[in-house]
């Protein structure tokens, strides 16, 4: 088997036993990237030379570390010292990060090599990776379709075996939704579980970094390394980090898994619904107790999200003004003109739409009616989940209402695009954790096979249960062995 | 018609901390441009703020000293507006849950400008109420050159305290007294050097006028850009006159921000209300709300230093100093420490000695320092030596007149008083044998005084005493020589 097909767990074994060297891994990945990247376009940039130098510098002690010698693809929204950091935006064209994000420091300390800048929707705003200044990424299962977003590059590169594993960020579903649409595993940890220091903020109270991987165990291994308190992130939690691997194979016997009726709504693709129902039945067959639950405020999640997230974004993106870094128009008449035209030229239309929306809802006289009210709705959503978790250990839902849609299909209709995240957003609003993993294929698309994802939602800081349920499902099914058409 | 002014102040104070408000960069004035910067205070993509506990503590301390209520839960908010000196284009500030609420500053007589201290208002102990004190980050400093502008980000992100008063101030002199009291309180507690000329204390004044007796406020103008406390006095005075004249001439005051030009002695229009910003405040999602009731307030209460006004009262109560002496000695923390050091070293009755020390400091030392262009830190007189000198006078070893001479010498040389007294031969003669010889000479030379004394005229003794002291060339201990004379005359 080619090295690039390896999982993180498999590759680590080969590296630890010196069956392969980190340089050989890079060579294999380079070959793969050269072969499939023209049709996938998962990366904005890959600095092979630096990666090779870092691989060559790894000591035997480094190679004994949990991620020793493993290249990790990084969504182009996390700071890696000396590497471009563009957030797939024209406004950051040419910007090179002067520092490492906390997660990058942690990856390096565990022996990993950050490799490549994965494409994304500009500033993580989007569900299809079409809102990228670098052009869209293509779904490896059907290159005429979107890979999901905003971490579309991260999902596509893992799915197409251009990367062993990747980091993404999830504000309203941006890890789980592309993972589902590309047929890989994606984990959004609990808010505060992973430091956001060095993650370019979209919506600070919702953003969280997490892994996209080929298997559940691989995600557990990455989470193990990146989780934990960081003094530089005031919102990071001082919760202890458990051993995510030790309980992985405990199975689902004795676990209660809730199924919320609000997630099987009108508008869900019938094929997707059937696949999810089958997956739930499968977990029941494995010994889990399935219980019906209700999350009554689910309906309000999307609307309140589109107030909170743009409001925070409007302030977070104010710093991109061309004064200190990034692209700047040269011929501004004065400072205001320079700001206006730099931002006019630098931002794409979806980003502008959200900045305007966010500016509006925070305006004097509107704050109480919009932002404050949305925050109150958020409390109700959180309460829904805490009540539900009184009855179950984890919740099962579809990750997305449909499989991957065609490139260009929804770009003219933002509401349709926003609905792609309808099942993932509430998890961010509640600040809890969610995992998406492959659970079957819809007989749609160019090759008649489009991946469908099962979402498992867990209590705050209970990623271990998500991983345990995911592992039980994954290891008792064969979906992880499927490869996309581009392979 | 008679008008009255209504004035409220917004005072920004740079908090003296080791590092900036939300990052680890040094908080230092005067370093080469852009040498104290990092990704956080430059607003680089992806960075996050970490609150500086030292700044929070100092703000709480300020609140406690000014009698504020400390908010149990407070939070930081984002204040959005675009300006090149603001790296993130929003400022982290506090909106509706600031650290401190209410409180006030009592205006002491001697906080007023010298020429206004006789005004009855100066003695009225007026309390200027505060609305709030909050903590925020400062912006960078812009420099405008001929064709370009430069920005120095050293100041960006340094902690800044904003103190907002009620519209309780009624005159330029009260504004002066408020700021000088605040300045003393903050600098003495080492919260800020609060030097207006260095921009460590910046003050915006909201001024309106109304016919005397009217309850409704007039339209206010905000005045900016004063760089000294006396400049504030001048600007406020100018603006009150301008507004009264405008109204008297049938004009209307429009709500606007005006800039003070100290050289021209005038305010100029900067912007009108129509150009006012909508700051779109909202809670900063990068920063968790803070609890102050879990030990922070209690521990700060224990660390609370004495304020100048508290110390002034103590000096009046414990040492019976008059209000003027007490206020001068409390006006500067170093001077207070010096005064108390001298007092500790001096022997004798506390109140008497304290008054003597106060006199030396206020009448002699401050003048000498001023004349020599020195500060207290340069002063060569050790508190122990100073105390020794006062003890000498109190014990009658030298006269107060001699002591003044010694003090000048101590100031010049730093020598011990006993050395100077010896060198100058100032030692009083207290030896009974020696005194007896002067007394006998005086008795022999003044038979008339002796007769007068024996006839019961007690004043004659003083005449004899004067003669005897004169014979001793002023060195005889005045009290002892009297006793010796009496003994001889009554024998």
Give the closest residue to A249 by CA, choosing from A6, A464, A21, A477.
Answer: A464
Instruction: Give the pLDDT of residue A487.
Output: 58
Q: Which of A78, A87, A321 sits opposite B82 (nearest CB)?
A: A321
| Active site annotation includes A304 | no
Is A371 within 8 Å of chain B by CB?
yes
What does the pLDDT look like over A239-277, one tens digit per residue? 999 999 999 999 999 999 999 999 997 789 999 999 999
Contact criterion met (CB < 8 Å) for B46 and A364: no
Q: Is A200 on the interface with B (CB under 8 A)?
A: yes
Contacts of A201 in chain B (CB under 8 A): 46, 48, 286
Cβ–Cβ under 8 Å, residues A486 and A36: yes
Flag if A318 and B80 touch (Cβ within 8 Å): yes
Residue A117 lies in a domain: yes
CA distance linking residue A193 with residue A190, whole number of Å: 5
Name the residue with tokens 């003994």: B487
Residue B73 has pLDDT above 80, yes or no: yes
The reply to whether residue B42 touches residue A235, judged by beta carbons under 8 angstroms, is no
Q: Identify which of B43, B88, B282 has the shortest CB distance to residue A311.
A: B282
Residue B227 shares a structural domain with residue B168: yes
Whether the Cβ atoms of residue A371 and residue A361 lie closer than 8 Å to each other: yes
Closest in B51, B87, B280 to A363, CB measured: B280
Query: Among all residues of chain A, which has the CA nearest to that of B287?
Result: A234
End-of-domain residue from the set B397, B423, B449? B423
Q: How much is the pLDDT for A5?
A: 96
Same domain, yes or no, for B295 and B183? yes
In a domain, A15, yes or no: yes
pLDDT at B429 over 90: no
Q: How confident is the model at residue B461 (pLDDT cuts 50, 70, 90)?
A: confident
CATH code of B459's domain? 1.10.10.410
Probe site for chain B from A100, A208, A234 (most B CB atoms < 10 A)? A234
Active-site residue, from A89, A132, A154, A174: A174
A296: tokens are: 């009554």
- All residues of chain A having their beta carbon less than 8 Å from the beta carbon of residue B50 are 231-232, 234
| Residues B318 and B258 both lie in one domain | no
* Residue numbers in B near A324 (CB within 8 A): 42-44, 87
Q: In the prediction, which pLDDT does A318 show?
A: 98
Contact A87 B87 (CB under 8 A): no
Q: What per-residue confidence (pLDDT) applies to B333?
A: 86
Q: How many domains does chain B have?
A: 3
List chain A residues with CB under 8 Å of B78. 315
User: Mean pLDDT, to the nearest integer, of A314-342?
Assistant: 93
Catalytic residue among A75, A106, A214, A459: A75
Q: Look at B285 and A200 and tell me if their CB atoms are within 8 Å.
A: no
A471 φ, ψ to 5°? -60, -45
State which residue of chain A sits closest to B86, comparing Cα positions.
Answer: A319
The answer as to whether A358 is a domain residue is no
Catalytic annotation present for A75: yes
In this predicted structure, the answer to whether residue A181 has a pLDDT above a threshold of 90 is: yes
- Report CA dihedral (A298, A299, A301, A307) to the nearest 10 degrees: -170
Q: What is the pLDDT of residues A391-414, one digit of tens each?
A: 999 999 999 999 999 999 998 888
Chain A hits for B49, CB-CB cut-off 8 Å, are: 234
DSSP annotation string for B395-439: TTSS-HHHHHHHHHHHHHH---HHHHHHHTT-PPB--HHHHHHHH
Co-location of B233 and B349 in the same domain: no
Best interface-test mutation with B: which of A230, A318, A334, A346 has the largest number of B CBs within 10 A? A318
Q: Which of B42, B89, B287 sits opposite A318 (nearest CB)?
A: B89
Strands A450-458 and A433-442: antiparallel
pLDDT tens digits, residue range A82-93?
A: 999 999 999 999
Say how far residue B306 (Cα) sits from the centre of its chain.
13
Asked if residue B222 and residue B187 are part of one domain, the reply reads yes
Looking at residue A415, its pLDDT comes to: 84
Whether residue A133 lies inside any domain: the answer is: yes
Tokens of B41: 């205070």
Q: Does A198 touch chain B (CB under 8 A)?
A: yes
Same domain, B376 and B446: no
pLDDT value for B29:
87
Q: Which of B282, B299, B316 is the last residue of a domain?
A: B299
Angle between helices A48-56 and A22-40 (to 10 degrees): 160
Residue A99, chain B, CB below 8 Å: the answer is yes
Per the CB < 8 Å rule, is A231 touching B50?
Answer: yes
Number of structural domains found in chain A: 1
- Taking CB atoms and an 8 Å limit, are B286 and A204 in contact across chains? yes
Residue of chain B whose Cα is closest to the Cα of A317: B88
**C-alpha to C-alpha distance for B372 and A17, rounded to whole angstroms:** 81
Q: Rounded to 5, what percent of chain A is helix, strand, coil?
A: 40, 15, 45
Cβ A275 vs Cβ A452: under 8 Å: yes
pLDDT reading at B273 higher than 80: no
- Considering the domain architecture, whether residues B353 and B266 belong to the same structural domain is answered as no
Q: Is residue A42 part of a domain?
A: yes
Cβ within 8 Å of B, A 118-147: none
Percent of chain A surpassing pLDDT 70: 100
Calculate Rg over the CA atoms of chain A.
21
Residue B43's domain comprises 3-299
Which chain A residues contact residue B285 at CB under 8 A?
A: 203-205, 235, 312
Which pLDDT does position A94 carry in this prediction? 94
Q: Which residues from A are below 8 Å from B88, CB to CB?
A: 315, 318-319
Q: What is the mean pLDDT of chain A?
A: 96
At residue B491 the predicted structure's pLDDT band, cuts being 50, 70 and 90, is confident
Asked if A323 and B44 come within 8 Å (Cβ–Cβ), the reply is: no
CA angle B331, B336, B341 (to 5 degrees): 170
Q: What percent of chain A has pLDDT over 90?
A: 94
Cα–Cα dist A353/B22, whole Å: 30
Query: Domain check: are B322 and B441 in the same one?
Result: no
B286 vs A235: CB contact, 8 Å cut-off?
Answer: yes
Q: Hey, are the CB atoms on B45 and A95 less than 8 Å from each other?
A: yes
Cα–Cα distance measured from residue A75 to residue A115, given in angstroms and rounded to the nearest whole number: 10
CB pair distance less than 8 Å for B46 and A78: yes
Candidates A87, A205, A318; nearest CB to B88? A318
Instruction: Tell me, yes or no, whether B293 and B365 share the same domain.
Output: no
Tell me how close the Cα of A200 comes to any Cα of chain B, in angstroms: 4
Q: What is the pLDDT of residues A367-387, one digit of tens each?
A: 999 999 999 999 999 999 999
Q: How far apart are CA B373 and CA B368, in angstroms?
A: 8
Catalytic (active site) residue A159? no
Same domain (yes/no): B291, B366: no
Q: Is the pLDDT of residue B291 over 70?
A: yes
pLDDT band with cut points at 50, 70 and 90 for residue B55: very high
Q: Does B417 lie in the same domain as B439?
A: no
A107, part of any domain: yes
Please answer whether residues B30 and B158 qualify as being in contact, where contact means their C-beta atoms are separated by less than 8 angstroms.
no
Which one of A323, A339, A364 makes the best mutation probe of the B interface by having the most chain B beta carbons within 10 Å? Answer: A323
- Indicate the range of A111-120, A258-267, B390-399 predicted with least confidence: B390-399
> Per the domain annotation, does A287 fall within a domain?
no
Give mean pLDDT, residues A128-137: 97
Which residues does chain B have within 8 Å of residue A318's beta carbon, measured at their own beta carbons? 80, 82, 88-90
Its pTM stands at 0.90
CA distance B58 to B42: 25
Could you count the other beta carbons within 10 Å of the beta carbon of residue A2?
11
Specify the CATH number for the domain of residue A249: 3.90.1300.10
Residue of B nearest to A340 (CA): B82
Least confident of A14-18, A310-314, B145-149, B339-343: B145-149
Interface residues of chain B, partner chain A, Cβ below 8 Å: 39, 42-51, 78, 80, 82, 84, 87-90, 151, 278, 280-282, 284-288
Last residue of a domain, one of B245, B279, B299: B299
Burial level of B117, CB count in 10 A (0-12/13-18/19+)? middle
Supply φ then ψ for residue B338, to 5 degrees: -65, -50
Do both B126 and B248 map to the same domain?
A: yes
Least CA distance to A232: which residue of chain B?
B50
Q: How many angstroms away from the CA of A312 is the closest CA of chain B? A: 8
How far is Cα B420 from Cα B437, in angstroms, rounded to an integer? 27
User: Which domain, by its residues, includes A139?
Assistant: 3-254+470-481
Q: Looking at A128, A150, A151, A154, which residue is catalytic?
A: A150
Residue range B465-481: mean pLDDT, rounded: 81
pLDDT band at B60 (very low <50, low <70, confident <90, very high): very high
């Amino acid at each position: 088997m080619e090295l690039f097909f390896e999982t993180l767990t498999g590759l680590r074994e080969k590296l630890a036993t010196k069956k392969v060297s980190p340089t050989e891994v890079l060579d294999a990945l380079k070959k793969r990237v050269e072969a499939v990247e023209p049709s996938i376009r998962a990366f904005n940039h890959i600095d092979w030379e630096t990666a090779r130098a870092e691989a060559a510098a790894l000591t035997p002690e480094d190679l004994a570390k949990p991620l020793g010698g493993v290249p990790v693809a990084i969504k182009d929204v996390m700071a890696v010292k000396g590497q471009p950091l563009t957030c797939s935006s024209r406004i950051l064209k040419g910007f090179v990060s002067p520092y490492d994000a906390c997660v990058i420091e942690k990856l390096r300390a565990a022996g990993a090599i950050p490799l490549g800048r994965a494409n994304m929707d500009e500033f993580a705003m989007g569900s299809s990776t079409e809102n990228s200044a670098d052009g869209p990424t293509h779904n490896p299962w059907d290159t005429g379709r979107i890979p999901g977003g905003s971490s579309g590059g991260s999902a596509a590169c893992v799915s197409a075996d251009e990367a062993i594993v990747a980091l993404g960020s999830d504000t309203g579903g941006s890890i789980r939704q592309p993972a589902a649409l590309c047929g890989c595993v994606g984990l959004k940890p609990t808010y505060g579980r992973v430091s956001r220091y060095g993650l370019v903020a979209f919506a600070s109270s919702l953003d969280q970094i997490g892994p996209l991987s080929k298997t559940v165990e691989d995600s557990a291994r990455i989470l193990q390394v990146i989780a934990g308190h960081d003094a530089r992130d005031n919102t990071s939690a001082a919760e202890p980090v458990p051993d995510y691997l030790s309980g992985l194979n405990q199975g689902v016997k004795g676990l209660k898994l809730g199924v919320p009726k609000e997630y099987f709504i009108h508008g869900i693709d019938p094929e997707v619904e059937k696949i999810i129902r089958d997956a739930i039945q499968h977990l029941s067959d494995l010994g889990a107790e399935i219980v019906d639950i209700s999350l009554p405020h689910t309906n309000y999640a999307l609307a309140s999200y589109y107030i909170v997230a743009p409001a925070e974004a409007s302030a977070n993106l104010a710093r991109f003004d061309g004064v200190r870094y990034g692209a700047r128009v040269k011929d501004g008449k004065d400072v205001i003109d320079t700001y206006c035209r730099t931002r006019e030229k630098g931002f794409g239309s979806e980003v502008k739409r959200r900045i305007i929306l966010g500016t509006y809802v925070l305006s004097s006289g509107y704050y109480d009616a919009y932002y404050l009210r949305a925050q109150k709705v958020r409390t109700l959503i959180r309460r829904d989940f805490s009540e539900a978790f009184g009855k179950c250990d984890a919740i099962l839902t579809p990750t997305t209402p449909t499989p991957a849609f065609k490139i260009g299909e929804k770009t003219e209709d933002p509401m349709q695009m926003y609905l792609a995240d309808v099942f993932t957003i509430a998890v961010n609003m509640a600040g809890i954790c969610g995992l998406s993993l492959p659970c079957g294929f819809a007989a749609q698309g160019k090759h008649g096979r489009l991946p469908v994802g099962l979402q498992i939602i867990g209590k705050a800081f209970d990623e271990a249960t998500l991983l345990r349920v995911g592992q039980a499902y994954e290891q008792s099914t064969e979906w992880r062995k499927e490869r996309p058409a581009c392979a | 018609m008679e008008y009255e002014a209504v004035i409220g102040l917004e005072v920004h104070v740079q908090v003296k901390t080791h590092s900036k408000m939300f990052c680890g960069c040094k908080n230092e004035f005067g370093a080469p441009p852009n040498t104290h910067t990092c990704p956080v205070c430059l607003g680089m993509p992806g960075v996050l703020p970490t609150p500086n506990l030292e700044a929070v503590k100092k703000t709480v301390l300020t609140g406690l000293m000014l009698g504020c209520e400390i908010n149990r839960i407070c939070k930081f908010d984002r204040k959005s507006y675009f300006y090149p000196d603001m790296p993130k284009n929003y400022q982290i500030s506090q909106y509706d849950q600031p650290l401190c609420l209410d409180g006030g500053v009592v205006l002491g007589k001697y906080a007023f400008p010298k020429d206004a201290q006789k005004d009855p208002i100066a003695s009225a102990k007026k309390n200027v109420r505060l609305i709030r004190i909050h903590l925020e980050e400062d912006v960078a400093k812009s420099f405008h050159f001929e064709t370009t502008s430069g920005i120095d980000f050293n100041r960006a992100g340094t902690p800044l305290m904003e103190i907002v008063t009620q519209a309780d101030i009624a005159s330029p002199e009260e504004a002066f007294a408020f700021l000088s009291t605040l300045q003393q309180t903050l600098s003495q507690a080492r919260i800020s050097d609060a030097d207006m000329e260095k921009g460590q204390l910046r003050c915006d004044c909201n001024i309106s006028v109304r016919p005397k007796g009217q309850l409704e406020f007039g339209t206010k103008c905000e005045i900016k850009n004063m760089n000294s406390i006396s400049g504030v006095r001048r600007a406020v005075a100018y603006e009150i006159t301008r507004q009264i004249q405008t109204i008297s001439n049938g004009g209307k005051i429009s709500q606007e921000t005006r800039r003070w030009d100290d050289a021209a002695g005038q305010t100029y229009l900067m912007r009108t209300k129509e150009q006012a910003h909508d700051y779109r405040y909202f809670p900063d999602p990068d920063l968790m709300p803070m609890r102050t009731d879990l030990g922070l307030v209690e521990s700060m209460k224990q660390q609370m230093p004495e304020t100048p006004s508290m110390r002034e009262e103590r000096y009046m109560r414990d040492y019976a100093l008059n209000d003027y002496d007490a206020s001068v000695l409390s006006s500067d923390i170093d001077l207070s420490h010096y005064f108390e050091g001298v007092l500790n070293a001096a022997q004798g009755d506390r109140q008497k000695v304290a008054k003597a020390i106060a006199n030396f400091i206020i009448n002699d030392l401050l003048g000498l320092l001023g004349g020599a262009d020195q500060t207290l830190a340069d002063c060569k007189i050790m508190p122990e030596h100073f105390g020794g000198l006062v003890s000498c006078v109190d014990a009658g070893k030298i006269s107060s007149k001699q002591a003044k001479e010694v003090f000048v010498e101590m100031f010049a040389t730093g020598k011990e008083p006993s050395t100077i007294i010896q060198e100058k031969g100032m030692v009083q003669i207290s030896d009974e044998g020696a005194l007896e010889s002067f007394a006998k000479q005086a008795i022999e030379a003044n038979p008339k005084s002796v007769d007068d004394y024996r006839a019961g005229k007690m004043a004659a003794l003083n005449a004899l005493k004067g003669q005897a002291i004169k014979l001793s060339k002023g060195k005889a201990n005045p009290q002892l020589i009297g006793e010796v004379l009496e003994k001889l005359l009554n024998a």
